[in-house]
RNA sequence: GGGCGAGUGGCGGAAUUGGUAGACGCGCCGGACUUAGGAUCCGGUACCGCAAGGUGUGAGGGUUCGAGUCCCUCCUCGCCCACCA
């Protein structure tokens, strides 16, 4: 090592060496315990930002630490290469998405290498390659066989300007965020995964994910939105048929004074001839609006009377049937019983249209309720039933049970469960995605339900295209404009047929990529089941919390499917999940070109080196917390590494000559040399424990303390002190490795290591050196701190008490008082309770 | 409206099971070395107070010998979901 800390030379030297030595290849220790460390694979945009840096660092520290502890670690990286941004860029810049994506990958990978990440690049994958996406198609076929894929007509967001389906996220105030045109609902065919078949399993599985942040599991619970209730038939008055409603509060049924159904054809059919024109008009108006416009919470409740009446099955009263915007066709049965006395929405609507309000509950305390005047007065909690026939006097819970049974016995309904979660529609009218392996043949399949492409014909490749002609952002899906792709032969009859021109949602790609890493070249299945048995589930997964209910739910679903297909051994893909916080700009705002507050990793690496960037980002705060970038703190991290460097450089010659502590009898270490050894060994213990808890900021703080302590010792004066210093620096280099691996390796080498400190392993601390023989005790009087005493570690209560009582300040505090009780906490404190 | 987090010095943040609040870093103040320093090293730094001492973890109560930590009420901020019956 040189006197000057020349980070760029040191970093490129070790990066090259790690790659050459295959330091981070997995499978090197087949008999050791495995550790699968994974970070969410990136969409390869042009440049890395600090969020990426932090994300990958959190996994990297963990991977390096466990590699040092002798685990067989797999830590792979790849590219989520399909997606809309590349296609939009292609439309704008007229460059094929594959070309642009490849450029980005090269750039991105270079930045990753420059940050010193410990990836096994032999496992690299790219989801846009046929070798990868053919297995998306394979899964599609398997899931089609199992009924987990189906074709449906569904209501989607259709942009009237772009002439395409867009995602909910792309709709802003009912308009398209790109072209600002109006977005409407459109019924169109699409392919969907029957994820709702797994709703209960996914929900139940959350209970076992003890090492996932509760924030994420609760969001998934919410998203799945399981609610238990009943479906009940409300017979139509004066004609055949009935309306089936869903309610979680059947205990309030005696207060149901009207029924509301979602605006749609059914409402029109129900309407009496006199009311029909108005109902028709209302339904048509609603159909023209987007979901948010029609039924967003901001939207005022509106509705019309159908003229028809239903009969409340419990009260036998005749109640009016309305149709209104606040009832959603897609949830429950698309119809509700309205109980204005005990439901806020029903109350507002009843107030507006003058519908009757009937109290059927009193408070659990027995207090009776008055008819509410305002929304705030509406009693919506469980209570005790009043004015409810045979059920009067029951609690809400009892009533729900009995009324449910009544409905079932009389064939008027049933207890049931409803979910908020919907099936996952994955058809996209895009080019840059996985083609859906389906063919339409007019002869074999006149209803156009789709004929699957046989497994042996996979992959259905994305065709080569003339970018400018095909990717226009207008008209039909791009693949419909490529005749060579579109026209094919029917797998059944061999006659002329056309291919499905839609592609898959890119969330399909990320459902199983973590398993593909295990055997990226495997060509008999998506991955090698033997490797899956060795490595799955993933031990730790790091990524942003924004994926809580998309990717993190989808891949839990997929994981279950893979198990059923006999590919994977586990239901759950990931044991421990870490969701990292956001790196904001120095001004506390989200980093953005708009604010001019973007700090790029490349600039920081160039100015301070990767080790400084790593140390700073990890030291800035706990992983899950957001933090604001701070240039001063970066300087601080850099200063720390310079101190480490100077210390190691300064002592290297003397320490090399002095040798190992093992060569010196333990009793020769006394005074300063013993203190040095204690400081170093305590640091090893502390840092290891902190890393396992993912408390990287305190791990680094612990290393800083050791460095400060070693500076305080100044120059070693005896051979023992030289030995102790040498040991301390070697231990320092070891514990610093996960954070600042380049500096650590350079120091390690100067202190006699033959290769990377990763190969040297994580050091064991000497248990005898991490316990003190004199301990500080806090002395309290009535719980207030009155003094601090130093006592031999093995001292018993009476010795500590005697020492405490002889302390001057304690004496003063105790004088003239009677000791009622003494609380003694070994190794911590003694508290005199006096009066 | 519902769910989940979080409130600790000037700032980022520490504090295994309730046990010396403020580790570590930044900033600031002082000193050393220097022609010089925005380099480096050493010291100080929660608040009030000259001091003795007192006060302090969003607010208010409670449990306890002892509460940042546990319980209750409330306030503020953030995120997610949201007319889901």
pLDDT digits (tens, 9 = 90+) for A372-414: 888 878 888 888 999 999 999 999 989 999 999 999 999 999 9
The answer to whether residues A599 and A629 touch, using CB atoms and an 8 Å cutoff, is: yes
In this predicted structure, the answer to whether residue A668 has a pLDDT above a threshold of 90 is: no
Q: Give me the mean pLDDT over the A257-280 stretch.
A: 94
Tell me the nt nearest to A214, Cα to C1': B4
Tell me the nt nearest to A700, Cα to C1': B24
Q: Is the dihedral of CA A387, A393, A398, A401 positive or negative?
A: negative
Beta-bridge partners for A583: A627
> Which of A608-617, A712-721, A750-759 is predicted with the least confidence, judged by mean pLDDT?
A712-721
In this predicted structure, the answer to whether residue A166 has a pLDDT above a threshold of 70 is: no
Q: What is the pLDDT of residues A765-796, one digit of tens each?
A: 999 999 888 888 899 988 888 888 888 888 88
In chain A, pLDDT over 70 holds for what percent of residues?
A: 97
Q: Which of residues 192-251 of A touch strand B (CB under 7 A)?
A: 214-215, 218-219, 222-223, 225, 227, 229, 246-249
The answer to whether residues A490 and A441 touch, using CB atoms and an 8 Å cutoff, is: yes
Q: What is the pLDDT of residues A723-765, one digit of tens each?
A: 999 999 999 999 999 999 999 999 999 998 888 999 999 999 9
The answer to whether residues A47 and A94 touch, using CB atoms and an 8 Å cutoff, is: no
Confidence of residue A532 (pLDDT cuts 50, 70, 90): very high
Which pLDDT score is estimated for A376? Answer: 79
Please choose, from the candidates A360, A264, A252, A340, the residue with its C-alpha nearest in 3D space to the C-alpha of residue A304: A264
- The pTM for the full model equals 0.92
Confidence of residue A459 (pLDDT cuts 50, 70, 90): very high
Answer yes or no: is A783 CB < 7 A from strand B. yes
Give, as one character, the DSSP assignment of residue A433: S
Please choose, from the candidates A601, A566, A704, the residue with its C-alpha nearest in 3D space to the C-alpha of residue A643: A704
In this predicted structure, the answer to whether residue A589 has a pLDDT above a threshold of 60 is: yes
Q: What is the pLDDT of residues A305-321, one digit of tens each?
A: 999 999 999 999 999 99
Which pLDDT score is estimated for A175? Answer: 66
The answer to whether residues A396 and A248 touch, using CB atoms and an 8 Å cutoff, is: no
The structure tokens listed for A169 are: 């996220």
CA distance linking residue A724 with residue A655, whole number of Å: 8
CA dihedral A114, A116, A119, A124 (to 10 degrees): 0
Q: What is the pLDDT of residues A319-378, one digit of tens each?
A: 999 999 999 888 889 999 999 999 989 999 999 999 999 999 998 888 888 898 888 788
Which pLDDT score is estimated for A553? Answer: 92
Q: Give me the mean pLDDT over the A553-566 stretch.
A: 95
Tell me the nt nearest to A330, Cα to C1': B84
The strands making up A335-338's β-sheet, listed across from edge to edge, are: A303-311, A318-324, A258-261, A335-338
Confidence of residue A297 (pLDDT cuts 50, 70, 90): low
Which pLDDT score is estimated for A716? Answer: 82
Exposed e or buried b per residue across A428-461, where buried means at least 16 C-beta atoms within 10 angstroms of its C-beta:
bbbbbbbbbbbbbbeebbeeeebbbbeeeebbbe
In this predicted structure, the answer to whether residue A151 has a pLDDT above a threshold of 80 is: yes
**ipTM of the complex, rounded to two decimals:** 0.94
Closest protein residue to B66 using CA and C1' atoms?
Answer: A783
Dihedral class, residue A389 (left if φ above 0, else alpha if ψ from -120 to 50, else beta): left
Dihedral class, residue A297 (left if φ above 0, else alpha if ψ from -120 to 50, else beta): alpha
Question: In chain B, which nucleotides are within 7 Å of a protein Cβ?
Answer: 2-5, 12-16, 19-21, 23-27, 39-43, 53-54, 65-67, 79-85
In this predicted structure, the answer to whether residue A266 has a pLDDT above a threshold of 60 is: yes
Which pLDDT score is estimated for A672? Answer: 87
Answer yes or no: is A640 CB < 7 A from strand B. yes
Please choose, from the candidates A788, A834, A833, the residue with its C-alpha nearest in 3D space to the C-alpha of residue A807: A788
In chain A, pLDDT over 90 holds for what percent of residues?
A: 64
Tokens 């460059």 belong to residue: A95
Q: How far is the CA of A711 from the C1' of B43 (A)?
A: 14
Q: How many CA atoms lie within 13 A of A207 on its CB side?
A: 4
The structure tokens listed for A259 are: 């029924």
Q: What is the pLDDT of residues A95-127, one digit of tens each?
A: 999 999 999 999 999 999 999 999 999 999 999
In this predicted structure, the answer to whether residue A169 has a pLDDT above a threshold of 60 is: no
In this predicted structure, the answer to whether residue A656 has a pLDDT above a threshold of 90 is: no
The answer to whether residues A128 and A432 touch, using CB atoms and an 8 Å cutoff, is: yes
Confidence of residue A178 (pLDDT cuts 50, 70, 90): low
In this predicted structure, the answer to whether residue A181 has a pLDDT above a threshold of 90 is: no
């Amino acid at each position: 090592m040189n006197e000057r800390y020349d980070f760029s030379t040191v970093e490129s030297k070790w990066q090259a060496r790690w790659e050459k030595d295959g330091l981070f290849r997995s499978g090197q220790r087949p008999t050791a315990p495995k550790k699968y460390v994974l970070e969410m694979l990136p969409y390869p945009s042009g440049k890395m930002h600090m969020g990426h840096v932090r994300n990958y660092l959190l996994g990297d520290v963990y991977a390096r630490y466990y590699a040092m502890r002798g685990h067989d670690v797999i830590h792979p990286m790849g590219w989520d290469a399909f997606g809309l941004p590349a296609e939009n860029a292609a439309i704008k810049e007229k460059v094929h998405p594959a070309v642009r994506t490849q450029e980005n990958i090269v750039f991105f990978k270079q930045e990753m290498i420059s940050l010193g990440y410990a990836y096994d690049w032999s496992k690299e994958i790219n989801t846009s390659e046929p070798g990868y996406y053919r297995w998306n198609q394979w899964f599609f076929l398997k899931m089609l066989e199992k009924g987990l894929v189906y074709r449906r007509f569904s209501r989607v967001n259709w942009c009237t300007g772009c002439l395409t389906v867009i995602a909910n996220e792309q709709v802003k105030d009912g308009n398209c965020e790109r072209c600002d045109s109006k977005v409407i609902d459109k019924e169109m065919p699409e392919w969907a995964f029957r994820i709702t078949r797994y709703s209960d399993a996914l929900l139940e599985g959350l209970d076992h994910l003890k090492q996932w942040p509760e924030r994420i599991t609760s969001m998934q619970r919410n998203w799945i939105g399981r609610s238990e209730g009943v479906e009940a038939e409300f017979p139509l008055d004066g004609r055949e048929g009935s309306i089936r409603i869903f309610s979680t509060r059947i205990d309030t049924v005696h207060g149901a004074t009207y029924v509301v159904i979602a605006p749609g054809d059914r409402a029109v059919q129900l309407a009496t001839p006199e009311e029909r024109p108005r109902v028709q008009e209302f339904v048509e108006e609603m159909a023209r609006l987007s979901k948010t416009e029609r039924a967003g919470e901001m939207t005022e409740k509106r509705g019309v009377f159908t003229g028809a009446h239903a009969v409340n099955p419990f009260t036998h009263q005749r109640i009016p049937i309305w149709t209104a915007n606040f009832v959603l066709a897609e949830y429950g049965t698309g119809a509700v019983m309205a109980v204005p006395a005990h439901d806020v929405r029903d109350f507002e609507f009843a107030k507006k249209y003058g519908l009757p309000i009937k109290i059927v509950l009193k408070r659990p305390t027995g207090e009776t309720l008055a008819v509410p005047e305002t929304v705030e007065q509406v009693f919506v909690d469980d209570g005790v039933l009043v004015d409810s026939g045979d059920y009067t006097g029951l609690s809400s819970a009892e009533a729900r049970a009995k009324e449910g049974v009544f409905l079932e016995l009389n064939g008027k309904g049933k207890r049931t469960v409803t979910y908020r979660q919907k099936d996952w529609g994955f058809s996209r009218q895009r080019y840059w995605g996985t083609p859906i392996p389906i063919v339409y043949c007019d002869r074999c399949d006149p209803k156009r339900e789709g004929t699957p492409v046989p497994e042996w014909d996979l992959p259905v490749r994305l065709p080569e295209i003339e970018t400018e002609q095909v990717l226009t952002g207008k008209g039909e899906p791009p693949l419909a404009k490529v005749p060579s792709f579109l026209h094919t032969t029917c797998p059944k009859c061999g006659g002329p047929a056309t291919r499905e021109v839609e592609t898959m949602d890119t969330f399909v790609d990320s459902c199983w990529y973590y398993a593909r890493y295990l055997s990226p070249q495997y060509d008999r299945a998506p991955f090698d089941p033997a490797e899956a048995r060795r490595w799955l589930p993933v031990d730790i997964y790091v990524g942003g919390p924004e994926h809580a209910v998309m990717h993190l739910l989808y891949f839990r679903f997929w994981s279950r499917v893979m198990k059923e297909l006999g590919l994977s051994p586990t239901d759950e893909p990931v044991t421990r999940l870490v969701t990292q916080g956001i790196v904001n700009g120095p001004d506390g705002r989200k980093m953005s070109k708009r604010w001019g507050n973007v700090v790029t990793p490349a600039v920081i690496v160039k100015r301070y080196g990767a080790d400084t960037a790593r140390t700073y980002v990890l030291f800035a705060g706990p992983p899950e917390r957001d933090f604001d970038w701070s240039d001063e703190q970066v300087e601080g991290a850099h200063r720390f590494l310079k101190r480490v460097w100077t210390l190691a450089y300064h002592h290297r010659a003397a320490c090399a000559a002095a040798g190992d502590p093992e060569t010196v009898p333990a009793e020769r270490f006394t005074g300063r040399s013993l203190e040095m050894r204690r400081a170093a060994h305590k640091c090893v213990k502390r840092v290891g424990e902190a890393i396992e808890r993912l408390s990287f900021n305190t791990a680094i703080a612990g290393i800083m303390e050791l460095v400060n302590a070693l500076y305080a010792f100044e120059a070693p004066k005896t051979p023992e002190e030289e030995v102790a210093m040498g040991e301390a620096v070697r231990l320092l280099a070891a514990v610093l490795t996960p954070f600042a691996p380049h500096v650590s390796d350079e120091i390690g080498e100067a202190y006699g290591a033959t290769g990377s400190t990763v190969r040297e392993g994580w050091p064991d601390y000497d248990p005898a050196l991490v316990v003190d023989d004199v301990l500080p005790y806090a002395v309290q009087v009535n719980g207030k701190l009155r003094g601090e005493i130093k006592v031999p570690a093995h001292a018993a209560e009476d010795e500590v008490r005697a020492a405490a009582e002889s302390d001057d300040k304690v004496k003063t505090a105790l004088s003239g008082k009677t000791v009622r009780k003494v609380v003694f906490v070994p190794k911590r404190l003694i508290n005199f309770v006096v009066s």
